[in-house]
């Protein structure tokens, strides 16, 4: 069993014992998302694959928060923010802007990239290096800035 799934199950038991109903509900939802993907793929998921499932779930929460705020539903936005905070406990710590820029600089140097034509190659290499610790839009903005500058 993947380390992350075991951690989620342990946290679920702890939430049950301490009576944290909201937290328990979110963790159960995460475990069910993971199990659904395992059934679809007909195999146990690795920690990396579980992180991808959790990231997808976190991204959905962020989109929902934005939509609820635009609709003036602060109550629902706060519920989604709570869910997002629980999910983020199980995700790797995101890279800082400085760390990300350093990785992009190193990758550009490694690949000998010099223009926007190289953007695809640089993006692929950087995203492989930062898997799960930075979102594609942020990486894309940094790479564009470095290659066009």
Classify 3-89 by CATH class: mainly alpha
Using CB atoms within 10 Å of the CB of residue 96, give its burial: 0 to 12 exposed, 13 to 18 middle, 19+ buried.
Answer: exposed
Please state, as a whole number, how many other Cβ atoms lie within 10 Å of the Cβ of residue 86: 22
Contact between residue 65 and residue 84 where contact means Cβ atoms under 8 Å apart: yes
| DSSP, res 116 | G
Q: What is the CATH number of domain 97-148?
A: 1.10.10.410
Distances (CA, A) of 86 to 9, 40, 57, 73, 91: 14, 25, 11, 21, 9
Domain boundaries, the chain: 3-89, 97-148
Q: What is the pLDDT along the chain (149 residues), one digit of tens a residue?
A: 789 899 999 999 999 999 999 999 999 999 999 999 999 999 998 888 898 899 899 999 999 999 999 999 999 999 999 999 999 999 888 888 899 889 988 988 888 888 888 888 888 888 888 877 887 888 888 888 888 86
Identify the three-state secondary structure at position 31.
Answer: helix
């Amino acid at each position: 069993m993947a380390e992350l799934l075991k951690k989620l199950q342990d946290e679920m038991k702890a939430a049950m014992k301490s009576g944290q109903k909201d937290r328990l509900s979110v963790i159960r939802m995460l475990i069910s998302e993971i199990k659904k993907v395992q059934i679809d793929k007909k195999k146990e998921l690795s920690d990396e694959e579980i992180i991808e499932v959790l990231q997808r779930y976190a991204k959905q929460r962020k989109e929902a928060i934005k939509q609820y705020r635009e609709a003036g539903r602060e109550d629902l936005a706060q519920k989604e923010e709570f869910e997002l905070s629980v999910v983020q406990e199980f995700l790797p710590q995101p890279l800082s802007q400085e760390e990300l820029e350093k990785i992009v600089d190193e990758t550009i140097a490694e690949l000998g990239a010099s223009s926007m034509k190289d953007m695809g190659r640089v993006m692929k290499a950087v995203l492989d290096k930062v898997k799960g610790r930075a979102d594609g839009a942020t990486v894309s903005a940094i790479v564009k800035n470095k290659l066009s500058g």
